């Protein structure tokens, strides 16, 4: 398959194949098979963004295999949901990478171009929601977005939010993480005119049911927000990136 | 039993029994038995408030029996959860009463004394929550509280709430009804320093699950609010009355 | 307040106030109070879009009051979730309007400008999901987006979807409605590179639990999609509009 | 900001600003930003009570930072939901504090004034509910309320409750914690005439679903009680304090 | 089969087969097949009680067929869960029967022998629970038990229960029906020393979830009670009969 | 497209295209577009079975359009989930059809060949489960299977099942419908050695939660059975057909 | 209080107080207060059975205090839900006791009289349900019942049950424990004519939801069984004892 | 019993009993009683397949006893759900066995005959679903089926599935394991014409609720698939075997 790829690129170089044709062609090419995982190098082409490894439930060896395969293609790579131990071991194998403990993410990023058109703002309701917010932050940075944070502005002291209207109004897309009653995204979406993405977090106890209450609250928002799965900071930032590149 | 009651009151009148003793005594006296229902006349004494009839699931005849029994003792009476048809029929039987269609309540109220110490404010998030708010309003009035309303100030346009800070700050107890994501009581409790009572309403669709989402959201409020059952406007106002009389 | 508004606009006309300043100012002005409802005329300014009336649970008189108030300001108006009877009565009152029975929407639209930058595509999984798709369609049109539809391409015969790749690839934002197992948005998002919005519908029986299964499936999508409440075609189209105007 | 605060207080001292004006002013002043947390010193003013730190999910360092910041303002401080290990370490850092193991609370309290008007009674159904009751007890004491306890009077031997009517009747507010079927608050509220606050506990097994059954039972009480989240002893005591200060 | 049955009974009469042997034999004989239903005449023998027809979901014709088949064997018959219309039509067909509207039961009972050893007491918490209590009452009577009722003694006014200790202590088995928080069976079982059967009812609203809350509460009772399905008054009385015949 | 189809079939007839090739080809041909529905004529080829119309939620006109389109191709057609009124109207339009009221199915069947290799047995637990069993029966017959029924053999009188072992042992596939506790499929699968398909029905009340209990019970069977959605008699019979044709 | 008790007993001994009077009197006497626990010595009189200690959630010291207090009155004592470590430590303190590891119970039993009238049979569906069955067994023995066991006769091989009909027919009360689909109690109750008690166990995985499925199945049994909480072997045996003593 | 068995087999050998008669006879013979477990040797005959030991919740000694008892009869044996530690210990006791760590299965297999008629294909959606797929694979092999695997072809990159149509079309039965939104079995069943078995896995987080979402999605599939309990790879393969032997 690599041979085909080279031929194709040679044709592009020589001008016998246009970029558009090559691009179309690449979208139909198969994936790379590591036995345990089929890496989808072409997603980068098809979706315009690099492969991301969901680290949870994968062995260290599996993760290393995937990262190695991607590094051989000189692709940037992001591994999410890995604890400190795995992160530290990855750093030894790939010293060019960075491990962010709060976000539980490891990444190698060489392409430093800013790709999104505006700024993505990550807002969190309370100190404990920061982890999910941080996962969103790292992901958003990784995909080349200008990204800012606003922490600990939950509804119990809503004046803290109103003192930050400036930054809210500068964002092109806003991600709001909130646990417990999950009300903050509704408030934010009632103030701004850009798309707001709500990410319920599993922060809470008793009748929070591991984030279910925040999830349901966001789905029933009387402001209009879009919602992601509990603790899915990555997904929200990926989606914000899609919007920010439009 | 009525004989005993008369004797007792005669003694109070003649001074051979103190008011306190009589009061103690009354708390132990039995209830009146209408076969289908045991009316608890002494709750008025024990709890300091008159009997209220939960109309849902009772036949018209049962309701009339109870109202009649109470009117014979010259007690004020409130019947909740009855539709327009029953309300209209009650008005014919008891023309001294009032039927409030929004609140789905019928009541006869002769004792016009104001009994609570401050004002109870009823706040509702949206137009559709008004029914529950109205039940709370009628109940609060019935129990002798100074009562005011603030409608349609939900979180999708939170500035509507902030333009009403004056009335919020005048209240001694605040009842907030809200459906959908149920966020309003949290916001209100983050602003004022008096007890806030949250009443989730069954307003919503899909993942609101008949008010369950609003209920869960209020129970997980990061402000401190107390919570009642879905659509229980009566209970909230009864409870606010207990607080307002302290 | 109307006086203030006129003054402001006069100043804008005369050039003594810039458009930007006026815009800022308007965002802080209060709402119009119809007693039962507080109309938020400024949302049009704040969020860049006109007021929409959620018809469910409102009386005919309440709806007429709101529509009238908005027509007096010459604002376009959309009323959602109203059945044929209410729709027909509205048509008599406001003959310049249109009632779409499938979508259960009534609207008056004079501003025919296209405002979004690209095309919004509404995809539905099965014949029965069309209602929700239609609500999304009407809403998207109402807000000035170029909008197209693709019906009945669910996963039981997935080749029907692949025969429509052309239209999928032309869209700037895609809304996918699906009931039962709710798998279609995942498939679509695995194919295209633009934001996909999933709307679970209440179509199904037994363990579909009124759309809960489709909702949960979409929240757990291994593709990255954003999710709205069950049957919330309006919300999805409103949100797609926000994205399409970026 | 501290400068402004000092100026303000100087003016109050000199009489050029009335206490009321200063109080109003303070309510609008911003919070203190520790980066990870925005301490809301003014809640003490706005709500009339000091800041409380919810310890669960915070690192030891974060807790120490907050406590230190508050001690520098000479404010009393309560940290809830911390296990013995953290409590012991806090005691070393702040030897003037107290750690209550049953309640899982650490607090520093210099202001010994009694502030509530009456007595708050904490009732628990069974031995295992004591932890939540103890959290409520410590919180109530911390906020300056006269507080008493009544343990192990659950409904399986209801005569134990009736032998304690005296203390029940002396309370101004009653908090009742109960797990399993959560029936005790209903019984208590059927006896007394003051506000009763129900706190479901996670005590139980099988179909208690971590306290959900007790929560639902309390929400459906045919007596009128207000309800808090599962195990939320702190919230109940905070709310009882609000009532007790009226 | 009827021939076999006659032979058998003739043998019993003539003494060539003992009653015990015949009884054993009968337990193994097959059922009567009405095509749509297989009547189990021998349950009367196997379980010691007559067949009962669960009327819900059966057509009038099916019910008539079954009742007729049983009357031909001169067996007593009880039909549960039928509304007034069906009941009235059955009365015309079988004028020897009785239709109890509250209990929604029709029955023909010729065997008037008292068969249980003691009295079964049916206790209901509120007026609205009476329907389920009445189904239990009719069933208990039908099976030949001495049966008494105690209505409207719920936990909101627990003194009403304590004024009826006499009758509680006379019962051999007690059935307690309760909706809402379902606490009454626990209280009763804490007082008496005989088996208490809890029957949750669907009485309530909001978070009662059609009786689920009462069901869960009873399953978590800290007294020891046995529990039946929501509204299953028949089952409870059948089971009480089994106990009362021991 | 029809032209292509004809060409293809002509080639098959003339022998220039083998049956296998034509068959492969047909699998890739597109569907017929009725605007509101895309009929998948090729499913008959791809899956070996004719199209079935899920009638629920479709208008009469939509159903007629689909049936007509299929009759024009001379295909057999089955419409499920339609009530008596729609069924009667269909009979008028298509007098060659049959409407089965119990099964709520209409069908036109000209191909009378038996296609499955063995007999499919439909077992139902109680009289009320018959509707779902009947839907399965009609479906199984429609697809050309030899089909038999065994009704009312539920676990309350398990001897009724054991008296029918003969027919159980003759079946090649067994479908068992059961509501309430849903135990019958487990028992049957413990006896026979062929695949057993469990179909939970919505028969029951209270904690049956519309069939959820039966569904969960079947999924947890300690015998090995496969499970379908609540009331999905059609799906079970379709699946049994797939097995019976192997 | 102990003095009163002695006086009373002396009177009984001397014949000046009848046993009945003394018994009545004792029922009204208060409980013993260990500070953390109020021991209800009189339950033995009121309910006819000794106190049982629910060990889960109690500290070792609390358990020892209670056991000691009861031993001083020479009362038999049963402690349930304690793991091996606690059991072993109790054995050292009270060498006259027995610890049963399977049942997770410790007990001291000096009164060896058989008190129930018949035999209680404990049936378990699978090997893994034995723990709950064993708790029931130990409890039943402790309360003086003749008790037998029948293990591993679940519905996957229902012939194993039928080969044990003899023992089933000898029992006066039957307790059936079952996890997964929880069908066994229904089968047993369809066979015998005595009261059957179902105890769902938490055995299973996936959609067994910790025993919820078995619980729901038993509540929906079409045989008539009474149901207890998940894993509540103790409660079932206590209740069986109440029945067996009638 | 073993004597009877030998006699029977001798008769078969000598021709005085036909194989069919012996087979019938064996089906009625009892099981072997190991005290803690009743081994059902005859299931092999009754169902045509050997006994399988569900290892979860059994002690090492219990497992060894069962394996030993089966090896003495020279029966093949499969133990599922055992972790590496138990597996390793079993290998020491029974060195002729194999422990598969991914599948968490131990088995001894001497009978190498291929018994099913076609190939069973095991498809898994993602890397993390492999465990359940592997359990299905080992089980399918153990029962003598030709078995193949297809891993990591989930819906996020659906082209990976379409590149494997060849193997899909060769299978006689297909098992598809999928977590998260559980959509893959629907897609597969929309493509092939053989029975597809869906096995939801507990892979996922947040609103996947331990596999519940995937389970519900599969039950609502608009393709026709049969469904098993969450993570029940064994059951699916056992069932596929039953089909494959038809």
In H111-229, where do the E strands start and end?
119-124, 146-150, 173-178, 196-200, 226-227
Instruction: Report the alpha-carbon distance of residue F156 to residue G190 in Å, rounded.
Output: 5
Tokens encoding B217: 């959201």
Q: Is E208 on the interface with D (CB under 8 A)?
A: yes
Task: Write out the H or E segment, with its range, that includes residue C100.
Answer: strand C98-100
Q: What is the pLDDT of residue D234?
A: 96
Q: Do G154 and F191 touch (CB under 8 A)?
A: no
The pLDDT of residue C189: 92
- Residue D6's contacts (CB-CB under 8 Å, 6 or more residues apart) are none
CA distance G36 to G104: 23
Question: Where on the phi/psi map is residue E54: left (φ > 0), alpha (ψ -120 to 50), or beta?
Answer: beta
pLDDT of residue E2: 45
Mean pLDDT of A97-121: 93
Show the beta-strand stretches assigned E in D128-246. Answer: 146-150, 173-178, 196-200, 226-227
Chain F residues with CB-CB distance to E57 below 8 A: 127-128, 203
Among candidates E12, B169, E22, G21, which has minimal Cα distance to D48? B169
How many helices and strands in chain E, by DSSP H and E? 11, 11
Q: Give the whole-angstrom CA distance, residue D85 versus residue D104.
A: 10
Q: What is the pLDDT of residues E114-157, one digit of tens each?
A: 888 999 999 998 777 789 999 999 999 999 999 999 987 877 77
Give chains near C: 3+ CB pairs under 8 A.
A, B, F, H
Full pLDDT tens readout for chain D, 246 residues: 445 545 655 566 666 766 556 555 444 444 455 556 665 554 554 455 667 888 888 889 989 998 998 888 788 899 999 999 999 999 999 999 999 999 999 999 988 888 889 999 999 987 777 899 999 999 999 999 999 999 888 777 777 788 888 899 999 999 999 999 999 999 999 889 899 999 999 989 999 999 999 999 999 998 899 999 999 999 999 999 999 999
**C-alpha span between F60 and B49 (Å, rounded):** 59
What is the number of other CB atoms lying within 10 angstroms of the CB of residue F95? 8
How far is residue E136's CA from residue E118's CA, in Å, rounded to a whole number? Answer: 16
Identify from B101, B127, B155 which residue to disrupt to test chain C contact, counting C C-beta atoms within 10 A and taking the largest count: B127
Would you call F203 an interface residue with chain E, using a CB distance cutoff of 8 Å? Answer: yes
Confidence band, pLDDT 50/70/90 cuts, at residue E9: low
Q: What is the mean pLDDT of residues F192-214?
A: 94
- Put simply, the answer to whether E213 touches D220 (Cβ < 8 Å) is yes
CB contact under 8 A, E155 and D186: yes
Tell me whether residues H205 and A31 touch, CB distance under 8 A.
Answer: no
Q: Do chains G and D touch by CB distance (3+ pairs < 8 Å)?
A: yes
Considering only the beta carbons, identify the residue of A118, A192, A226 that sits closest to C228. Answer: A226
Q: Which residues of H touch C198 (CB under 8 A)?
A: none
Q: What's the residue count for chain E?
A: 246
What phi and psi, each to the nearest 5 degrees, are found at residue D17? -125, 130
The β-bridge partners of B105 are: B100
pLDDT of C32: 56
Rounded distance between C-alpha atoms, residue A232 and residue H54, angstroms: 35
Considering Cα of B243, then B244, then B245, then B246, what sign does the dihedral take? positive
Please list, in sequence order, all residues whose beta carbon lies within 8 angstroms of the beta carbon of residue C13, skipping any fewer than 6 positions away: none
**What pLDDT, on a 0 to 100 scale, did the predictor assign at position D16?**
72
Least confident of A22-31, B177-186, B214-223, G230-239: A22-31
pLDDT tens figures, G78-112? 999 999 999 999 999 999 999 999 999 999 998 88
Considering only CB atoms, which chain G residues are within 8 Å of D130? 36
Whether the CB of H164 is below 8 Å from some CB of chain F: the reply is no
- Reduced to 3 states (helix: H, G, I; strand: E, B; else coil), residue B149 is strand
Per-residue pLDDT of chain H (246 residues; tens, 9 = 90+): 445 545 655 666 666 766 556 555 444 444 455 556 665 554 554 455 667 888 888 889 989 998 998 888 788 899 999 999 999 999 999 999 999 999 999 999 988 888 889 999 999 987 777 899 999 999 999 999 999 999 888 777 777 788 888 899 999 999 999 999 999 999 999 889 899 999 999 989 999 999 999 999 999 998 899 999 999 999 999 999 999 999
Helices (H) and strands (E) in chain H, counts: 11, 11
Residue of H nearest to F40 (CA): H190
**Chain G partners (3+ C-beta pairs within 8 A):** D, E, F, H
Secondary structure (3-state) at C24: helix
* B149-163, B203-217, F37-51, F223-237: range with lowest mean pLDDT: F37-51
Collapsed DSSP state (helix, strand, coil) of residue D194 = coil
Q: How confident is the model at residue C161 (pLDDT cuts 50, 70, 90)?
A: confident
Confidence of residue B57 (pLDDT cuts 50, 70, 90): confident
pLDDT tens column, D12-27: 666 676 655 655 544 4
- Residue that wins the pLDDT comparison between H100 and A18: H100
- Interface contact C213-H213, CB threshold 8 A: yes
Residue A243 pLDDT > 80: yes
Question: CA of H174: how far to CAs of A175, H127, H136, H186, H202, in Å?
Answer: 41, 18, 11, 12, 20
Q: Which stretches of chain C are DSSP H helices?
A: 2-14, 19-28, 43-46, 60-72, 84-93, 130-142, 159-162, 165-170, 184-191, 212-219, 233-245
Nearest to F183 by CA among F120, F127, F125: F125
What is residue F38's predicted lDDT score, i.e. its pLDDT? 62
DSSP-assigned states of every residue in E203-226: ---GGGGGGHHHHHHHHT-SS--E
DSSP bridge pairs for F39: F32
Contacts of H103 (CB under 8 A, 6+ apart): H80, H131, H134, H135, H137, H138, H233
Q: Compute the CA torsion angle G27, G28, G29, G30 (nearest 10 deg).
A: 110
- Residues of chain A neighbouring B210 (CB-CB closer than 8 A): none
Give me the pLDDT at residue H29, please: 45
What are the DSSP E strand ranges found in H81-232? Answer: 98-100, 105-108, 119-124, 146-150, 173-178, 196-200, 226-227
Size of interface E-G (CB pairs under 8 A): 66
Centroid of chain to Cα G188: 21
Q: Looking at residue H163, what is its pLDDT?
A: 81
Question: To the nearest 10°, the Cα dihedral for B30, B34, B37, B42?
Answer: -30
Q: How does residue E241 score in pLDDT terms, banded at 50, 70 and 90?
A: very high
Dist CA A177 CA A166 (whole Å): 19
| Mean pLDDT, residues A162-180 | 92
Contact A157 D38 (CB under 8 A): yes
User: How far is the C-alpha of D74 from the C-alpha of G38, rounded, in Å?
Assistant: 42
Which residues from H are below 8 Å from A30, CB to CB?
A: 159-160, 163
Give the number of other Cβ atoms within 10 Å of residue C69's Cβ: 17
CA C204 to chain centre: 23
Q: What is the pLDDT of residue F44?
A: 53
- Compute the distance between CA of residue D185 and CA of residue D182 in angstroms, rounded to an integer: 7
Torsions phi, psi for H24 (to 5 deg): -55, -45
HSE-CB at F191 with a 13 A cutoff on CA atoms is 21
- Name the band, by pLDDT with cuts 50, 70 and 90, for residue B162: confident
pLDDT at F29: 45
Partner-chain contact F246 H117, CB within 8 Å: yes
Among D149, D152, D209, pick the best mutation site for testing chain G contact (most G Cβ within 10 A). D152
Read off the pLDDT of residues E167-212 as tens digits, 9 standing for 90 and up: 999 999 999 999 999 999 999 998 898 999 999 999 899 999 999 9
Chain G residues touching residue F212 (CB < 8 angstroms): 216
Least Cα distance to H182 among D78, C222, E24, C31 occurs for: C222
A223/H198: higher pLDDT: H198
Q: What is the pLDDT of residue B171?
A: 97
Which residues in G lie closer than 8 A to residue F182 (C-beta atoms)?
A: 181, 217, 220
Residue positions counted in chain H: 246
* SS3 assignment, position F125: coil
- Tell me which of A39-43, B205-209, E185-189 is least confident: A39-43
Touching D: A residues 56-95, CB under 8 Å: none
Which of A48-62, A64-78, B175-189 ranks highest by mean pLDDT?
A: B175-189
* CA–CA dist H64, C244 (Å, integer): 66
Average pLDDT over residues G28-56: 60
> Cβ-count burial of B6 within 10 angstroms (0-12 exposed, 13-18 middle, 19+ buried)?
exposed
Question: Which pLDDT score, from 0 to 100, does residue A18 have?
Answer: 61
pLDDT at E14: 65
C190 interfacial to chain B (CB closer than 8 Å): no
- Interface partners of E (3+ CB pairs, < 8 Å)? B, D, F, G
pLDDT at site H59: 87
Does the beta carbon of C177 lie under 8 angstroms from any beta carbon of chain H? Answer: no
The bridge status of strand B146-150 relative to strand B119-124 is parallel
Q: How far is G2 from chain D (nearest CA, A)?
A: 17
Q: Please judge whether B187 and A186 are an interchain contact, meaning their C-beta atoms are less than 8 angstroms apart.
A: no
Instruction: Write out chain D residues lying below 8 Å of G56, CB-based.
Output: 128, 205
Distance from CA of C201 to the nearest CA of A (A): 13
Chains touching D, CB cut-off 8 Å, 3+ pairs: A, B, E, G
Instruction: Determine whether the interchain pair C213/H217 forms a contact, defined as Cβ–Cβ distance below 8 Å.
Output: yes
Q: Which chains touch B (3 or more CB pairs under 8 A)?
A: A, C, D, E
Taking CA atoms, C164 is separated from C150, F1, H162, in Å, by: 8, 17, 17
pLDDT > 70: percent of chain G: 80
What DSSP state is assigned to residue H10?
Answer: H
Distance CA E97, CA F193 (A): 48
Q: Test A117 with C246 for CB contact under 8 angstroms.
A: yes
């Amino acid at each position: 398959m690599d041979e085909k790829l080279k031929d194709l690129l040679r044709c592009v170089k020589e001008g016998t194949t246009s970029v558009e044709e090559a691009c179309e062609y690449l979208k139909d090419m198969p994936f790379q098979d590591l036995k345990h995982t089929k890496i989808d190098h072409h997603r980068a082409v098809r979706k315009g963004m690099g492969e991301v490894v969901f680290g949870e439930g994968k062995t260290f060896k599996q993760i290393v295999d995937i990262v190695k395969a991607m590094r051989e293609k000189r692709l940037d790579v992001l591994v999410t949901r890995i604890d400190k131990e795995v992160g530290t071991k990855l750093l030894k194998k790939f010293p060019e990478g960075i491990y962010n403990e709060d976000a539980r993410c490891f990444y190698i990023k060489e392409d430093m171009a800013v790709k999104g058109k505006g700024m993505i703002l990550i807002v969190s309701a309370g100190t404990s929601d920061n982890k999910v917010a941080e996962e969103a932050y790292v992901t958003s940075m990784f995909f080349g977005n200008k990204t800012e944070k606003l922490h600990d502005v939950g509804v119990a002291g809503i004046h803290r939010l109103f003192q930050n209207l400036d930054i809210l109004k500068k964002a092109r897309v806003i991600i709001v993480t909130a646990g417990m009653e999950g009300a903050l995204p509704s408030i934010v979406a009632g103030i701004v005119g850009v798309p707001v993405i709500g990410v319920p977090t599993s922060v809470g106890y008793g009748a929070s049911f591991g984030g279910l209450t925040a999830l349901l609250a966001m789905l029933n928002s009387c402001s209009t927000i879009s919602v992601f799965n509990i603790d899915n900071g990555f997904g929200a930032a990926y989606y914000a990136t899609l919007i920010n590149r439009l």
